[in-house]
Amino acid sequence: MTSKERVLAAVNHRQPDRAPIQVYLTPEIHAKLVEHFGTQDILPILGVDFRGVGPRYIGPERTVPPGCDYVDEWGVGYKTIQFTTGGYEEAYHLPMASPITMEIVESFPWPTADLFDYSDIEEQCDRLKDFAVCHGGAGTPDIVNGVSRGRGMEQVIMDIVTDDPVGVAIIDKRCDVLYDRCRRTLEAGKGKIDILCLGEDCGNQAGPMFSPDVFNRFFRPRLKRFYDLAHEFGAKAMMHSCGNTRKLMPTFVEMGLDILDAMQPEPPGMDAAEIKSEFGARLTFCGLISTQDTLPFGTEAACRAEARHRLEVVGKDGGYFFSPAHCIQSDTPLENVLAIYEEALGLEPGGLKQASGFRLQASG
């Protein structure tokens, strides 16, 4: 099977030749893998079956706010904060922090879909035709996290719960901009984009982030709009969500979600076998390899055992993309990372050897 065939078989709940493989890495782990394999091109080595396409930014250069290292398209300024395990970019300049009026929201220089060039999207798809072609990511629309970087987490949660007009206007500006960009990209792809990748953290370690009433009133129509857009162009809708989302899975199915990404196995209620049994015929799952426990703190044998369980139990009859539950953190032993991908690829221990130019073909 090609990567595309493998992914489409799995998402349509047919058994592929092996589970499709995805990878999420922190910069520190990416650098270790690059050093280990002696090449920047590590995706073929790990057997990753997904590739992304997207438009090129052609808008004006943005002014970086004082005290910041860079600014994003929403005007949020970031500083790099060094921790013991590495550097992380944290929002520092919040242009939509309270007090903000509706007049300020309306006059703000919001990015538009016209600031991007879509002319080579189909060509990008053609170059990657043997892979599952994806567009988007966990930041689309990413209402809570995305808006909080420019407004503050507590304020965004209050905006949602109270239906604050100013806060809701900011949220809908973000959703509209990203929806238009996704539509333009899918149109330019002419049916060659397989998956529209989305994100919204709907859960925490204990359960859903919001009550069912709030989710259905606020999030459901805004997220479903993106799911429907994917289906309009023949693509699958895939959404990242951290945390315990088990109580929301029936709603995700009703809304038309095809793939639930970054599935965390650690929270109570997120048992991989139970979720597969209950929802496996209606949802495809991506993740379930523990990045909070097994990968960073487990033995190599424990990592292999968890990987085999996911492949054999969750991957039975398709409906599973093999992946870490989130970006593999910088304190994770390299041998544990290699171990899970050796299991996913059906290689003997030590099969992912350090060798410059070493490759595995996309066709498996």
SS (H, E, C) 76-123: CEEEEEEECCEEEEEEEECCCCCCCCHHHHHHCCCCCHHHEECCCHHH
Q: Which domains does the chain have, with CATH numbers?
A: 3-62+99-345 (3.20.20.210)
pLDDT in tens, the chain (364 residues): 999 999 999 999 999 999 999 999 999 999 999 999 999 999 999 999 999 999 999 999 999 999 999 999 999 999 998 877 777 889 999 999 999 999 999 999 999 999 999 999 999 999 999 999 999 999 999 999 999 999 999 999 999 999 999 999 999 999 999 999 999 999 999 999 999 999 999 999 899 999 999 999 999 999 999 999 999 999 999 999 999 999 999 999 999 999 999 789 999 889 999 999 999 999 999 999 999 999 999 999 999 999 999 999 999 999 999 999 999 999 999 999 999 999 999 999 999 974 434 444 433 4
| Close Cβ partners of 349 (under 8 Å, ≥ 6 residues apart) | 304, 339, 342
Name the one residue in this structure whose structure tokens are 């893998």. 33
Pull the structure tokens for residue 349. 């221990």
pLDDT of residue 318: 97
* CB-CB contact of 238 with 258 (8 Å): yes
- Tell me, what's the pLDDT at 361? 40
> Chain centroid to CA 5: how far?
21
Q: What is the pLDDT of residue 360?
A: 44
Distance CA 132, CA 144 (A): 28
Of all residues in the chain, what percent are helix, strand and coil, respectively (each to 5)? 40, 20, 40
This prediction has a pTM of: 0.94
